[in-house]
Homo-oligomer: A and B are copies of this chain.
């Protein structure tokens, strides 16, 4: 992933109970850290949380997670989580995330999390709303690829 494309960063510290018997962060916790990054990203953009939840007459659902583990984080390590929305298609969009050691910049893990917009009762795909496209576009600028924008 291109680090320079990420405009949002936050930090968190590895907690005692997130470390497994090898003395390193259990692989499941990176997925949670990326989610913390997405929540803070959406808050920073002024988009009401929770994206996974019903948004009035629609809901947003996580449909795919990809995580590449590059190295291990350890107890009490301060981590930098970088988050961006890389694309918005007609009915879907994707977050990218990077976790690094805050002190050294050592790459720890990378994530792609694909979401889709659905009609809450029937589950039919919905066009990603214009206000969401605009808020993301305004924050990301050229870094986000927006295609199949909705007919208004």
Contacts and interface: CB of A to CB of B under 8 A. Distances in A.
Contact of A50 (B16, B36, B65): B16
Of A20, A50, A64, which is in contact with the most chain B CB atoms at under 10 Å from its CB?
A20
A65 to B, nearest CB: 5
A140 interface: no
Interface residues of A, number: 33
Contacts of A15: 32, 35-36, 39
Contact of A61 (B36, B65, B69, B75): B69
Contacts of A19: 20-21
Nearest to A110: B64
Interface string A61-76: 1111111110000011
A119 to B, nearest CB: 15
7 contacts: A16-B35, A22-B50, A27-B35, A28-B31, A28-B32, A28-B35, A65-B65
Interface of A: 15-17, 19-23, 26-28, 31-32, 35-36, 39, 43, 49-50, 52-54, 61-69, 75-76
Give 10 nearest A-B pairs by CB, closest first.
A65-B67, A21-B23, A19-B21, A28-B31, A17-B26, A66-B66, A64-B68, A28-B32, A27-B62, A63-B69
